[in-house]
Amino acid sequence: MFTRLTMLAATAALLIPAVASASTLPDMPASCFTYELAGTQSGAHGLTAKTLHATLTGTDITLDIRGISLSDPSGHVQATTLERFNAVAAYAALSAFKGGISDACKDQGLGINSSDLRPGTPQAAWTDVKLARPGHDMTIRKASIQAVQTTPDLHLKVEGTGIHDTKQPLMPTQLSADLTVQGLDTARQQITINALHAVSGTSTIDGKGTIEPGATASTSAADLHVGVTNVETLIGQIRDTAPKKVVAALTIARLMGRQSGDATLWDIGLSGGVVTVNRIPLPFSVP
């Protein structure tokens, strides 16, 4: 697709979408995930595409994007690998919107390794993003993911602006995160949140910390530090629109926090299935 073609062949190639399960991510069957990229055009250090459509097979969850730009400014990562990088990002977005991996995708490999990205610094930018299921839409005006560093650890910067979710009144309208993933090629990784910043109404959310993901919550660990400004105002803004249990949970969280100026702070821990907030264990264990 990225070799020099005649004008007729190039035009035909732009009109025929590429299905990820058959080519882009060969290890992931169509019974799990499908992915179509249309209107592609290669450049010096990457490619662009007009549209993307992806879905988790067997679910009603879809992802549509109307503007994709993939690049590696260092020039080390091939265009085909950038497309796999983009497909993995699409799959991750769908799984996150679902709230977990679908049954059809369990134990499936992604077909991309950290070695595919080294020694480059790949990045993807999406415009007019829509994640949808019946009765629930999430839209993002612009989203980007950038691999600032890929060796020895994976250092990522993620940004999203113009975010709106029809079911989540607390969803930030803006979000940025600076993350480092250590042990990418090992059985146990550690994710360091170097900085997280989000805006929700008149409130800002800032955080940092570490997460060691396990197979279940009880085998995972976390040490997080989160601060939210104007929590009382935020509760008032969502009181009439959010479910009562959400309002109640945020009210209880405010009472458990400690004040620093206009910010409410929490130290959140997870170890052995026990969650602590400001070093106080919550009266339940996670599975």
pLDDT digits over 130-147, tens only? 999 999 999 999 999 998
What is the distance between the alpha carbons of residues 275 and 45, in angstroms, rounded to a whole number? 45
Q: How far are the Cα atoms of 66, 116, 133, 158, 230 from residue 70, in angstroms, in the given order?
A: 13, 15, 26, 14, 38
Residues 202 and 145 in one domain: no
Which two three-digit tokens encode residue 14? 């732009």
Residues 23 and 161 in one domain: yes
Smallest CA-to-CA distance from 266 within 208, 211, 210 is with: 208
Residues 3 and 74 in one domain: yes
Task: Quote the number of domains for the chain.
Answer: 2
Smallest CA-to-CA distance from 226 within 272, 180, 172 is with: 172
Residues 42 and 92 in one domain: yes
Residues 160 and 188 in one domain: no
Residues 179 and 226 in one domain: yes
Q: pLDDT class for 15, splitting at 50, 70, 90?
A: very low
Positive or negative: CA dihedral 157, 161, 166, 170: positive
Q: Which of 107, 133, 167 is the last residue of a domain?
A: 167
Residues 241 and 161 in one domain: no
For residue 214, pLDDT beyond 70: yes
Secondary structure class of 211 (helix, strand, coil): strand
Look up the domain containing 244 and give its range. Answer: 173-287
Q: pLDDT class for 11, splitting at 50, 70, 90?
A: very low
Q: Which of 167, 199, 217 is the last residue of a domain?
A: 167
